[in-house]
Chain A
Amino acid sequence: MMSSLIYRHNRITRLTHWINALALLILIMSGLQIFNAYPHLHWGSKAEPEEAFFSIYAADEDGDIHGYTRFLGWRVDTTGILGVQQTDMGPFPRAFPSWITIPGFFWLAGGRRWHFFFAWLFTLNGILYFLYNLGRGHVRKFLFSPYDAGKVLPMILCYLRLRSESPQEGEYNPLQKMAYTGVFFILTPLIVLSGLAMSPQLDVAFNWLPAIFGGRQSARTVHFLLTFFFAFFTFGHIFMVVTTGMINNMRCMVTGWYVEKKLNPEGLKQEQDDFEVKMEDPRNGEK
């Protein structure tokens, strides 16, 4: 068995990755703080209280307060997690619990400060990553194309150990391409636009902005729900990092260097060609 070091992530990618991780964490937690100020979801332009299709609330039942989460006609008792939080001073009404919001105490103004600061950081950081890597032709490598669509199922089977060989060509496999393309080109623009659509000033500038989501309250709903797509992506991403050689993966995103094990040098020869070039001049292109 042979192994070689390859330089996989350039400086800008590593830097923007970690800034993005921090920004995303704070955006989600401060976003939940903002949501707590009005823990109901609506569709359309306005919010008629009785028309909320989703609510988190607390109800007093014979002196016992319960937290409930309601979606349309279904209601679940979520005391302790959503609606009511157990505190040192007893149960307390609160949609999302303090440990998942920024700041931890109930403070809408504070949540907004964190959210807007990191929204700027998230956006500028994303633009930096994108422009730099677009210029280096890297974005093309994870762009999902119709050609990749046919290889999604074989790749899933490969992950499930139902198929021995990977349909991967190039640096990213078809599922990775699907995930990254989805996050970069669908999820991110949508969550930025739906967030901006909540601004009364921008709605004056562009009357069509809330309209593309079906109204300002719809934009708020879309913004909230997309958060969970980001969370889902992040958990999937962390799961893959941990299960496919955590130390190697983590080191790679910190230092840029990745240890490639060559179990079968003959078979892998051709696919490795791309990497061999980099081995000769690892910092090629980063000057």
Chain B
Amino acid sequence: MERNRLDISRRKILFGALQGAGVLLLSGCENIFNQLHQNRKVLSLLESVEGLNRRLLRFLTGSNKLAQEFSEKDISRTFKPNGNPPPFIMEYVMNAMSGWPSWKLEVGGLVKQPGQFSLNDLKAMPARSQITRHDCVEGWSAIGKWKGVPLTEIMKVVQPDPQAKYVVFYCMDMDTESNNFYESIDMVDALHPQTILAYEMNDQSLPIEHGAPLRLRVETQLGYKMAKYIQRIEFVENFKEIGQGKGGYWEDRGYEWYAGI
């Protein structure tokens, strides 16, 4: 008797659950997930695994491992230049046409020796050349050859303070609403030997669409971290006051700050 009554109530619950599941799947699914996605609490719960990803993957990588380097024959015929269009401002265009005579990279923030570097200054510094795979957040990959100054060489000159935790890259390109592109990386990626400020791609001067005159390469991260059209580098303790405070143009628009996955 006892068990029978229990069975009936359980059956009701079961049928209710099945019906609910059916409705959820057939019609409401899209709306429910969309609404959940717009809920601040749900979103921050989903976002909570970013820290887990960063810690676990960094732990597994250790400190001295390099990204795979390919050979000349692996270089992609097509290398899509995603992101914003090149800066369409007079100063940029004039400079691009005449070999960047008045362009200078400004480096400042929490450093002992703020400095300015012309393109020739950068080219006179120790260089690194690497043929690496670029992974776009969209899913495609392309292989290119890059030559540039390791970020550590710049750091030797400017000498960041111990409280500097992040390196912020300010760029000349902007979206249709005049938001300038910017990005940030932390010291772990800044100190990686393959993290370079590239001025050459595939043995040519860096093409306009790939960020001329100077772009960032961070081989542990997805493409959107690799700022193009760099104008200024700032060493900071945190990036709360920069842009919308998430550490980059794409981060301000919902993408992860940690783009190692």
Given that A34-B139, A199-B260 are contacting pairs, would A110 and B78 also be in contact in the complex, using a CB cutoff of 8 Å?
A: no
Once bound together, how far apart are the Cα atoms of A34 and B80, in whole Å? 18
Q: Is A109 on the interface with B (CB-CB < 8 A)?
A: yes
Q: Is A105 on the interface with B (CB-CB < 8 A)?
A: yes
Number of chain B interface residues as a range: 35 or more
Residue of B nearest to A202 (CB): B57
Once bound together, how far apart are the Cα atoms of A104 and B49, in whole Å? 22
Q: How many chain A residues touch B (Cβ–Cβ < 8 Å)?
A: 48
4 cross-chain pairs, A with B, having the tightest CB-CB distances, nearest first: A201-B260, A38-B139, A109-B254, A104-B30
Once bound together, how far apart are the Cα atoms of A206 and B57, in whole Å? 11
Given that A113-B47, A205-B57, A254-B14 are contacting pairs, would A35 and B139 also be in contact in the complex, using a CB cutoff of 8 Å?
A: yes
Residue of B nearest to A259 (CB): B7
Given that A35-B139, A109-B255 are contacting pairs, would A200 and B78 also be in contact in the complex, using a CB cutoff of 8 Å?
A: no
Given that A47-B140, A109-B254 are contacting pairs, would A205 and B65 also be in contact in the complex, using a CB cutoff of 8 Å?
A: yes
Min CB distance B125 to A, Å, is 24
Q: Within the complex, which residue of A45, A114, A198, A201 is in contact with B61, where a contact is CB–CB below 8 Å?
A: A201
Label chain A's interface by main secondary structure: helix
Stretch at the interface among B159-167, B205-213, B219-227: B219-227
Given that A29-B33, A247-B11 are contacting pairs, would A117 and B67 also be in contact in the complex, using a CB cutoff of 8 Å?
A: no
In the complex, what residues of A have CB within 8 A of residue B30's CB? 98-99, 104
In the complex, what residues of B have CB within 8 A of residue A202's CB? 57, 60-61, 260-261
Q: Is B157 on the interface with A (CB-CB < 8 A)?
A: no
Q: Within the complex, which residue of A35, A113, A200, A217 is in contact with B220, where a contact is CB–CB below 8 Å?
A: A200
Residue of B nearest to A33 (CB): B33
In contact, A204 and B141 (Cβ under 8 angstroms): no
Q: Within the complex, which residue of A42, A204, A247 is in contact with B219, where a contact is CB–CB below 8 Å?
A: A204
In the complex, what residues of A have CB within 8 A of residue B29's CB? 99
Given that A200-B222, A254-B14 are contacting pairs, would A117 and B135 also be in contact in the complex, using a CB cutoff of 8 Å?
A: no
Once bound together, how far apart are the Cα atoms of A49 and B79, in whole Å? 9
Once bound together, how far apart are the Cα atoms of A206 and B68, in whole Å? 9
Min CB distance A211 to B, Å, is 8
Residue of B nearest to A200 (CB): B135
Q: Within the complex, which residue of B53, B133, B253, B261 is in contact with A216, where a contact is CB–CB below 8 Å?
A: B133
In contact, A204 and B67 (Cβ under 8 angstroms): yes
Q: Is B66 on the interface with A (CB-CB < 8 A)?
A: yes
Q: Is A272 on the interface with B (CB-CB < 8 A)?
A: no
Min CB distance A242 to B, Å, is 11
Min CB distance A230 to B, Å, is 16
In contact, A46 and B18 (Cβ under 8 angstroms): no
